[in-house]
């Protein structure tokens, strides 16, 4: 599989805005950092990530060589004021001070099917998202990832007894809220339920009525791509930047997405959870197609290289927590880029040198309050209107009509983007009041075609606005 090197899109996305200072993740000693040693004067090794005026220090707890899943210490500071912004600790009690496995790594690796990819030692968290064994083992466990006939297997083996306890959930390999099957024979139940359900709940919380579908059919995905309502799209499937595995006998390609979305507006927010979903941003790749190649009013966020050893070990166990942090900030009304940065600051092992998370699109886009995907049919104040200046421009996908007896108001600063040779006509009244700010009516295909004005326009009783490409 061809691999390419990309600049971290967290950097690229921010550079589109104002070029703040960014220092990629680095390993530092607590008592050697001026800000940190006031709170931790030990020799613990923290991951340090600085974005603009905020610096984050993250310590992943380990006992010997064993990672203690979901246990961490995190501090964040304002560089200019040296003020402590956050002090968070998650620390499980009752674990040993040190650990020496009885069952060796070599013995564990000899138990698994296929070719061993890598092995790590873990104390599995009671709140684990990716190692679902019941009961949660008290002993440390060898996590051995192997590959057998193109299928990743995450083996869980007790490091003290040598008992094979079960299997973990692999990250989506290279390849609404949608989650699909693992590689293997049909039929298969979908996996990654918790990740997709987390997205569904958060989208609903933000005000977007959302369905979650496992093993979604091509027709189901197409129905959401070709929609005036679906503004938030989340997928977590095996796949890459150009195709993902939506059903056990079916893949969806970026070319298909490009064909389906051609006559529709860009998706407002797309989360590409396929392992290499965000690695390529060019034409005929998902990020480009969902955004229709635009950086206005549309964003794509997601994974790149999540099946690599660095990302799977350091980031994948925190993937739900990472997206929860991002969604929390999005729900507060922050821009998606700000939310993305805050998630990376909270879990710097997902960004920094590991560079597992990527961003592309509009650095100023917010999705709360709710923004619309596109407009079509009957629109008036109280039903899709008024059309005021918004975080996302107003896309007129097909002919819009203001019914008799109704009024549609277009406020100062609003942008209306016309697709598919569509128009607005008024049996009622259309009022465009740009007395305090410019209003634009332009074509999606060529924004030089259209009208920009400051002042007032009133259209009624059969009048229409149409922008010719």
Q: What is the pLDDT of residue 24?
A: 58
Q: Which of 24, 65, 14 is nearest to 348 (CA)?
A: 24
Q: What is the pTM of this model?
A: 0.84
Q: Which residues of 219-337 form beta strands (DSSP E)?
A: 232-236, 243-247, 250-253, 269-272, 299-303
Contacts 24+ apart (CB under 8 A), 205-209: 205/327, 205/331, 206/232, 206/327, 206/330, 206/331, 206/367, 206/368, 206/370, 207/368, 207/369, 207/370, 208/232, 208/367, 208/370
Contacts of 15 by beta carbon, 8 Å cutoff, 6+ apart = none
The CB-side HSE value for 167 (13 A sphere, CA atoms) comes to: 13
In a domain, 287, yes or no: no
Mean pLDDT of 9-23: 39
User: 44 and 82 share a domain?
Assistant: yes
Examine residue 457 and state whether it is found in any structural domain, yes or no.
yes
Residue 251's Cα: distance from chain center in Å?
A: 20
Cis ω on the peptide bond leading into residue 187 (within 30° of 0)?
Answer: yes
- Which of 150, 168, 186 corresponds to the end of one domain? 168
Is residue 67 located within the same domain as residue 140?
A: no
Q: Are residue 136 and residue 62 in the same domain, yes or no?
A: no
- Tell me the pLDDT tens digit for each residue of 286-336: 999 999 999 999 999 999 999 999 999 999 999 999 999 999 999 999 999
| pLDDT > 90: percent of the chain | 77
83 and 112 in a common domain? no
Same domain, 77 and 110: no
d(CA 117, CA 109): 10
| 70 domain-assigned | yes
Q: What is the residue range of 22's domain? A: 9-89
Q: Is 115 exposed, middle or buried (0-12, 13-18, 19+ CB in 10 A)?
A: exposed
Q: Is residue 283 part of a domain?
A: no
Q: Which of 119, 148, 168 is the last residue of a domain?
A: 168
Q: How confident is the model at residue 285 (pLDDT cuts 50, 70, 90)?
A: very high
Residues 384 and 451 in one domain: yes
Q: Please indicate, yes or no, whether residues 148 and 74 belong to a single structural domain of this protein.
A: no
pLDDT at residue 11 above 70? no
Angle of the 319-331 helix axis to the 336-346 helix axis, nearest 10:
140
Residue 220 lies in a domain: no
Q: How many domains does one find in the chain?
A: 3
Query: Which of 352, 351, 327, 324 lies closest to 338, judged by CA?
Result: 327
- Tokens for 71, please give them: 């246990």
Whether the Cβ atoms of residue 288 and residue 278 lie closer than 8 Å to each other: no
Residue 19 lies in a domain: yes
Q: What is the pLDDT of residues 217-269, one digit of tens each?
A: 999 999 999 999 999 999 999 999 999 999 998 999 999 999 999 999 999 99
Integer Cα distance of 228 and 209 in angstroms: 13
> Do residues 65 and 121 share a domain?
no
The answer as to whether 288 is a domain residue is: no
Indicate whether 384 belongs to any domain: yes
For residue 466, what are the CA distances in angstroms to 285, 418, 433? 32, 8, 18
The domain boundary, picked from 168, 192, 209, lies at 168
């Amino acid at each position: 599989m061809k691999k390419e090197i990309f600049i971290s899109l967290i950097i690229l996305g921010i550079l589109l805005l104002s070029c703040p200072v960014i220092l990629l993740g680095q390993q530092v000693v607590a008592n050697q950092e001026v800000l940190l040693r006031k709170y931790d004067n030990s020799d613990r090794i923290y991951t340090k990530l600085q974005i603009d005026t905020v610096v984050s220090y993250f310590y992943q707890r380990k006992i010997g060589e064993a990672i203690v899943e979901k246990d961490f210490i995190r501090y964040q500071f304002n560089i200019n004021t040296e003020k402590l912004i956050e002090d968070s600790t998650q620390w499980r009690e009752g674990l040993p001070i040190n650990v020496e496995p009885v069952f060796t790594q070599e013995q564990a690796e000899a138990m698994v099917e296929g070719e061993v990819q890598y092995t790590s030692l873990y104390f599995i968290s009671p709140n684990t998202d990716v190692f679902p064994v019941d009961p949660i083992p008290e002993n440390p466990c060898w996590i051995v990832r192997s590959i057998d006939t193109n299928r990743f297997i995450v083996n869980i083996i007790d490091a003290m007894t040598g008992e094979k306890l079960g299997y973990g959930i692999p990250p989506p390999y290279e390849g609404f809220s949608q989650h699909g099957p693992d590689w293997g024979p049909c039929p298969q139940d979908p996996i990654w339920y918790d990740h997709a359900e987390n997205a569904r709940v958060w989208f609903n919380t933000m005000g977007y009525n959302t369905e979650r579908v496992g093993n979604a059919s091509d027709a189901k995905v197409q129905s959401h791509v070709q929609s005036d309502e679906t503004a938030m799209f989340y997928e977590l499937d095996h796949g890459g930047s150009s195709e993902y595995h939506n059903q056990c006998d079916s893949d969806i390609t970026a070319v298909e997405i490009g064909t389906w979305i051609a006559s529709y507006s860009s998706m407002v927010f797309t989360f590409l959870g396929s392992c290499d979903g965000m690695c390529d941003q060019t034409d005929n790749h998902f990020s480009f197609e969902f955004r229709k190649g635009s950086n206005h009013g549309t964003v794509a966020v997601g994974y790149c290289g999540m099946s690599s050893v660095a990302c799977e070990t350091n980031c994948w166990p925190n993937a739900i927590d990472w997206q929860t942090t991002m969604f929390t900030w999005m729900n507060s009304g922050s821009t998606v880029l700000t939310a993305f940065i805050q998630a990376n600051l909270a879990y710097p092992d997902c960004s920094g040198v590991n560079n597992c998370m990527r961003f592309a699109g509009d650095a100023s886009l917010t999705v709360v309050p709710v923004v619309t995907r596109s407009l079509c049919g009957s629109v008036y104040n109280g039903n899709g209107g008024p059309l005021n200046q918004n975080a996302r421009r107003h896309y007129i996908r097909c002919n819009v009509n203001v019914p008799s007896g109704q009024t549609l108001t277009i406020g100062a600063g609003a942008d209306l983007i016309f697709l598919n040779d569509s128009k607005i006509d008024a049996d009622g009244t259309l009022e465009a009041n740009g007395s305090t700010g410019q209003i634009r009516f332009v074509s999606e295909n060529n924004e030089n075609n259209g009208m920009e004005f400051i002042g007032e326009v009133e259209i009624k009783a059969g009048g229409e606005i149409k922008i010719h490409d």
